[in-house]
Amino acid sequence: MAYLVTGVAGFIGAAVARQLLDRGEQVVGIDNLNDYYAVQLKHDRLATLAGANFTFTAVDIADQAALTAALAPHRITHIVHLAAQAGVRYSLTNPHAYVQSNVVGQVNLLEYARSCDGLVSMSYASSSSVYGGNTKLPFAEDDRVDAPVSLYAATKKSDELMGHVYAHLYRVPLTGLRFFTVYGPWSRPDMATWLFTDAILKGKPIRVFNNGDMSRDFTFIDDIVSGVIAVTDSPPADDGSRPPHRVYNIGNNKPERLLHMIDVLEDAIGIKAVRSLEPMQPGDVPATYADISAIQRDHGFAPTTPIEVGIPRFVDWFKSYHGIA
């Protein structure tokens, strides 16, 4: 019995794997270790997972033959599929990377899942970006999500549709998770908390889009991990009345103004930022806010980390990781 974690060298993947290892599970991790951002950070995350219960293979999920060969020696019972090409803005200039990783890769994992003898469940990463330009807040799972404003969002909605098909045709128990602005230690260098912290410490201006008139449902990594593991351990039942496929929002359920987040970050660092106010970027949205009542009801998900706690924890990690006193 083993948990497969795809994208295991990534921000959320490594954190999920760490929690599973801490409770004594066998974890099989795969990642293609691409250079979308510093590969050394990915290796450093993997180093925190090393041990007898962890097996890692470098493989691209878009390569079906290589993926099948890499997983052949293992008896996988749970799949946590987090590998993806992330980032809204990068999709504007590198669309093929998103199709390969997020669409072809999703099909390959679904095909693998339906071939697994004894599979208990598969959870996979979707995104709050599927809500596109929706103005109704908070975003709820039954809102329409057929008007994406980025290719990244379109690929994530495609993942949900493909999940429904595989649950319907092959009864694969599947759960999709629409993540809302995850942050915390070991995060990606293209994320706002990292970019802002790095710039402030170097005395450089921070780019504040939409002139700061933005809000995000910032969700701390530890809260996210608890939700990911909860839905993976308790897949949707197959009672024959509908496909065993559920999609949940997973967020903090408390949107924060971007300018307030910057205030909290400045306090944690002890330095005031030089703020460069800029227009909205293509593919971005002014606000995200998760209605999490469904995942609360079905899985007891209850985020507990406000940004006043989570941001200082991120700053402490950032300084330690970079050797900053």
Q: CB-based burial of residue 325 (10 Å sphere; 0-12 exposed, 13-18 middle, 19+ buried)? A: exposed
Token pair of 89, please? 């803005």
Question: Is 152 tagged catalytic?
Answer: yes
Q: Give CA–CA dist 145/177, Å, rounded.
A: 14
Instruction: For residue 171, give both structure tokens.
Output: 């009864």
The candidate with the shortest Cα–Cα distance to 45, out of 4, 3, 9, is 9
b (16+ CB within 10 A) / e for 2-28: bbbbbbbbbbbbbbbbbbbbeeebbbb
User: Annotated catalytic residue: which of 36, 152, 183, 248?
Assistant: 152
Spatial CA neighbour of 231 closest among 163, 291, 296: 296
Nearest to 193, CA basis, from 175, 171, 218: 218
Q: What count of other Cβ atoms lies within 10 Å of the Cβ of residue 96?
A: 10
C-beta separation of 174 from 123 below 8 A: yes
Which tokens is 229 given?
Answer: 């593991």
247 near 175, Cβ under 8 Å?
yes
* CB distance 148 to 88 below 8 Å: no
Find the angle CA(309)-CA(313)-CA(315) to the nearest 5 degrees. Answer: 120
Residues labelled as active-site residues: 152
